[in-house]
Amino acid sequence: MAYREKRRRVNPRFVALCLAAVLVIAAGGFCVWRMLFHGLPGENVKLPDYVTEDQLTKNPWSRPGTELESIKGVVIHYVGNPGTSAEANRNYFESLQDGAEGIYASAHFIVGLEGEVIQCIPLTEWAYASNSRNEDTVSIEVCHPDETGQFSPVTYDRVVELTAWLCDTFDLTTADVMRHYDVSGKDCPKYYVEHEDAWQQLLKDVDEALTALKVQAAQKK
Nearest residue (CB) to Zn ion, 129 versus 164: 129
CB 188 to Zn ion: min, Å: 3
- Shortest separation between residue 103's beta carbon and Zn ion, angstroms: 13
Q: Which is nearer to Zn ion, 117 or 188 (CB)?
A: 188
For Zn ion, the closer CB: 77 or 158: 77
Using the 8-state DSSP alphabet, how is residue 59 labeled?
Answer: B
Closer Cβ to Zn ion, 165 or 192, answer by number: 192
Least distance to Zn ion, CB of residue 35, Å: 35
Instruction: Tell me whether residue 86 or residue 188 sits nearer to Zn ion (CB atom).
Output: 188
Query: 106: Cβ–Cβ under 8 A, 6 or more apart, which residues?
Result: 56, 62, 63, 93, 96, 120, 121, 127, 128, 129, 139
| β-sheet bridge partners, residue 67 | 125
* Minimum gap (Å) between residue 24 Cβ and Zn ion: 46
CB within 8 Å of 209: residues ≥ 6 apart:
160, 161, 163, 164
Q: How far is the CB of 38 from Zn ion (least distance, A)?
A: 31
Nearest to 59 by CA among 109, 101, 93: 93
How far is Cα 213 from Cα 165, in angstroms, rounded to an integer?
8
Q: What b/e readout covers 129-140, taking b as 16+ CB neighbours within 10 angstroms?
A: bbeebbeebbbb
Phi, psi for residue 211 in degrees, rounded to 5: -60, -45
Judged by the rule CB under 5 A, the positions of this chain that interact with Zn ion are 77, 180, 188
